[in-house]
Amino acid sequence: MATARNPAALVRPLVTPEGVDLRVKLADAGTRASGFLLDVVIIIVAAVVVSLVAIFGLGGLGVQEAEPLFIVWIIFIFLLRNVYFIAFEAGRRAATPGKRMVGILVASRSGAGLTLDQVIARNLMREIEVFLPLSILAARGGAGVADTLSTIFGLVWALLFSVFPLFNRDRLRIGDLLAGTWVVEAPKVALVEDLSLRKDRVAARFSAAQLDAYGIAELHKLEEVLRRDDYFAMKAVAETIGRKIGAKVEPVDSKAFLTAYYGELRAHLERKLLLGNRKADKYAR
């Protein structure tokens, strides 16, 4: 409840490989649960549709002939839910449809890019955290002592893993701990004005050598920082750029400096593109 009253308690530093601190806000437990439930609904709908098609298509088979197909169906459902999460989170958006609906995504806690190994680890762990205890509950055969004990065991198992994110400050699942990931907010933002035309630009002139220090990839990252409008992130990025190009940046002028550099860097790269010279990033010669 403390984080609900104090949103800043969920803000964390995310240091990039270059040492720039881009702060992120962790998704709270309620948002994560909502995204997961939406994904479960999508998976269930897909499973029901496939099952109905299979039932109507194989309706003439007897019970014994259908048993091997039932095993195939169980394997299919297992693959469906795992491939669903892994495929979407390993994609460019690093989020399933449910996560995108509630505005969150998966990120690496190291600040580097999210790897396929991390995605696989966090999602296979979900089998142990969620689906295995649910399978135990679904497999109850009657009302005997053994079934009662298995029900209690499954409920306690599911409850322990479900409340685990509430008892660590970063709201991490067991899968997140093992994979080195966390889930952060990624709210949809409306398109804003062309940053190169902003009125708060300073009258700064940069030399061709200073503009050649960065390429298209860094231009996009700089635009993201400016649109986020986070003072600490802009200050850190401005200082990094200033050191690299040999320009002095006053802390109070970080935003104006970055806006000016963004505008001139963009125009500089556009002119070079017209001449057939494409500089993909700062490492390109």
Q: What residue ranges do the domains of the chain occupy? A: 2-185, 195-274
158-204 residue pLDDT tens? 788 878 888 888 888 888 999 999 899 886 654 444 555 554 444 45
Q: How high is the pLDDT of residue 126?
A: 86
How far is Cα 40 from Cα 43, in angstroms, rounded to an integer? Answer: 5
Q: How high is the pLDDT of residue 4?
A: 47
Number of other residues whose CB lies within 10 A of the CB of residue 140: 14
Burial of 107 (0-12, 13-18, 19+ CB in 10 A): buried
Q: How high is the pLDDT of residue 100?
A: 92
- The residues near 157 (Cβ < 8 Å, ≥ 6 apart) are 132, 133, 136
* Residues forming a β-bridge with 15: 21
Report whether 134 contacts 127 (CB < 8 A): no
Kindly report the backbone phi and psi dihedral angles of residue 130, in degrees, each rounded to the nearest multiple of 5, phi listed first: -120, -60
Residue with tokens 């700089």: 222
Joined tokens for residue 24: 């992120």
Q: How high is the pLDDT of residue 192?
A: 45
Q: How high is the pLDDT of residue 191?
A: 43
Q: How high is the pLDDT of residue 2?
A: 44
Query: Which regions in the chain score pLDDT beneath 50?
Result: 1-5, 190-193, 199-203
Q: How high is the pLDDT of residue 96?
A: 94
Q: Is the pTM of this model over 0.75?
A: no
Which CA distances in Å does 197 have to 91, 238, 240?
33, 19, 23
Q: How high is the pLDDT of residue 29?
A: 82
